[in-house]
């Protein structure tokens, strides 16, 4: 129904904001067992009703997500030139949000070429191989929401929205995996315990198409890096570990870096681990971002992606209001989620 969708749209975009704002202070850190306790205490403190502190600023992840949402709200048909212009305008207004270096040089080229071909600058990066960073995936949530019941269009729009900055198949497929995970969560009923193994199976099935199409080398070996990561997710969910051992295993197999392949499956895993451990929707959201931040590395982006997935599953009412209140522009994000839902009624 409309009310459930509204809650899930808000939960998803707020989840993305919270992961970014709350994860950003730890970006690039290597975490010890002690640090994980620090993160738990930090989140507990922020959840206290009366606790006061300066707001937690968002970074490039949210800046770009906001542009993606705005493009969908303002233009009835997908308009990638308009989206590229929004990215560039936003970057030059606030360049200090922690953008990746490749992205900055793509923005400079786009502006120099007056947006003549919005996919060309990105395709020329890294000697023509294109960026495989997680910057496409980190901003894709609004597309997954807007087209959640139009799968083929979603895939097409995700691909093109990503290619404005990230043309490497690993960058694009990371955005596709993230959007598919969000879309699945939107379709999932809220009340029932998530079957995490069925969830991974659905992702495995859907990713097959993209990785197979990308296979163009002649060694006869079909490389399916995202599907391999998802099989690892499946194994990690089945095995019981000592906490420290598990942590090392996650970092070794899934990763925590700015590379999409080493962060999008990690975000999916954080969400599924939280779901496997408890049916309590409030704990699922909180634990998802706590796990993501606790891994260290690209904490803002992994927590943002994991938060978007978890938020789309649990809905706004299962995000702690005090965590929300500490994040920059949370009211604008709620309004954006509502406008996105309203805009899609017209397509
Ligand atoms: P991006 O496209 O600039 O990629 C990020 C970096 O990944 C690049 O600057 C390169 O160093 C490297 N890279 C990407 N593709 C290739 C390639 N084909 N060959 C060699 N190196 C490559 O940025 P993005 O939009 O993907 O963003 C990724 C992350 O950067 C996000 O976490 C975002 O928040 C930002 N960021 C990361 C850090 C950090 O150190 N963890 C700090 C600030 C900002
Ligand atoms: Mg960031
Ligand atoms: Mg091969
Ligand atoms: Mg980041």
Copy the structure tokens of residue 240: 């019981």
Nearest CA to ligand 1 atom 35: 100
pLDDT at residue 345 in the model = 79
307-320 tens-digit pLDDT: 999 999 999 999 99
E strands present in 194-255: none
Point out the ligand 1 atom lying closest to the alpha carbon of residue 165. 2
Nearest CA to ligand 1 atom 10: 102
Report d(CA 313, CA 189) in Å as an integer. Answer: 8
259-302 tens-digit pLDDT: 999 999 999 999 999 999 999 999 999 999 999 999 999 999 99
Nearest CA to ligand 1 atom 16: 131
Ligand (nearest to CA of 225): 3
Nearest CA to ligand 1 atom 9: 101
pLDDT at residue 76 in the model = 82
Ligand (nearest to CA of 63): 2
Report d(CA 318, CA 76) in Å as an integer. Answer: 31
State the complex-level ipTM: 0.94
Per-residue pLDDT of the chain in tens (347 residues, 90 and over written 9): 899 999 999 999 999 999 999 999 999 889 988 899 999 999 999 999 999 999 999 999 999 999 999 999 999 899 999 999 999 999 999 999 999 999 999 999 999 999 999 999 999 999 999 999 999 999 999 999 999 999 999 999 999 999 999 999 999 999 999 999 999 999 998 777 899 999 999 999 999 999 975 556 556 566 899 999 999 999 999 987 787 889 999 999 999 999 999 999 999 999 999 999 999 999 999 999 999 999 999 999 999 999 999 999 999 999 999 999 999 999 999 999 999 999 997 66
65 lines ligand 1 (CB under 6 A): no
Is the pTM above the cut of 0.90? yes
142 lines ligand 1 (CB under 6 A): no
Cα of 91 vs centre of ligand 1, distance in Å, is 15
Report d(CA 15, CA 63) in Å as an integer. Answer: 14
Which residues hold their Cβ within 5 A of ligand 2, which is an ion? Answer: 59-61, 98, 300
Ligand (nearest to CA of 297): 1
The number of helix segments (H) and strand segments (E) in the chain equals 17, 0
Report d(CA 19, CA 287) in Å as an integer. Answer: 11
pLDDT at residue 1 in the model = 87
pLDDT at residue 347 in the model = 62
258 lines ligand 1 (CB under 6 A): yes
């Amino acid at each position: 129904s409309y009310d459930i969708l509204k809650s899930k749209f808000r939960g998803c975009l707020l989840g993305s904001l919270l992961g970014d704002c709350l994860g950003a202070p730890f970006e690039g850190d290597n975490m010890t067992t002690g640090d994980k306790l620090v993160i738990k205490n930090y989140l507990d403190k922020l959840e206290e009703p009366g606790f006061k502190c300066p707001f937690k600023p968002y970074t490039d992840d949210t800046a770009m997500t906001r542009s993606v949402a705005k493009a969908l709200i303002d233009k009835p048909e997908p308009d990638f030139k308009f989206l590229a212009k929004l990215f560039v305008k936003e970057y030059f207004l606030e360049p200090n949000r922690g953008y990746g270096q490749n992205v900055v040089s793509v923005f400079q080229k786009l502006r120099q070429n007056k947006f003549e071909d919005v996919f060309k600058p990105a395709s020329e990066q890294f000697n023509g191989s294109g960026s495989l960073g997680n910057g496409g995936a980190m901003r894709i949530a609004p597309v997954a929401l807007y087209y959640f019941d139009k799968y083929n269009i979603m895939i097409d729009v995700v691909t093109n929205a990503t290619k404005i900055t990230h043309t490497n198949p690993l960058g694009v497929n990371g955005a596709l995996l993230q959007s598919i995970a969000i879309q699945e969560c939107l379709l999932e009923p809220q009340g029932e315990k998530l079957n995490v193994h069925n969830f991974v199976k659905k992702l495995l099935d859907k990713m097959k198409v993209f990785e197979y199409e990308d296979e163009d080398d002649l060694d006869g070996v079909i490389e399916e890096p995202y599907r391999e990561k998802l099989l690892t997710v499946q194994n990690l969910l089945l095995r019981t570990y000592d906490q420290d051992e598990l942590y090392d295993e996650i970092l070794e197999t899934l990763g925590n870096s700015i590379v999409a392949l080493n962060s999008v499956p990690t975000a999916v895993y954080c969400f599924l681990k939280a779901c496997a451990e408890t049916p309590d929707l409030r704990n699922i959201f909180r634990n998802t971002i706590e796990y993501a931040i606790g891994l260290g590395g690209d904490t803002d982006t992994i927590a943002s992606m994991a938060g978007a997935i978890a938020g789309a599953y649990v809905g706004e009412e299962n995000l702690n209001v005090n965590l929300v209140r500490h994040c920059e522009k949370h009211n604008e994000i709620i309004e954006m989620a509502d406008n996105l839902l309203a805009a899609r009624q017209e397509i």
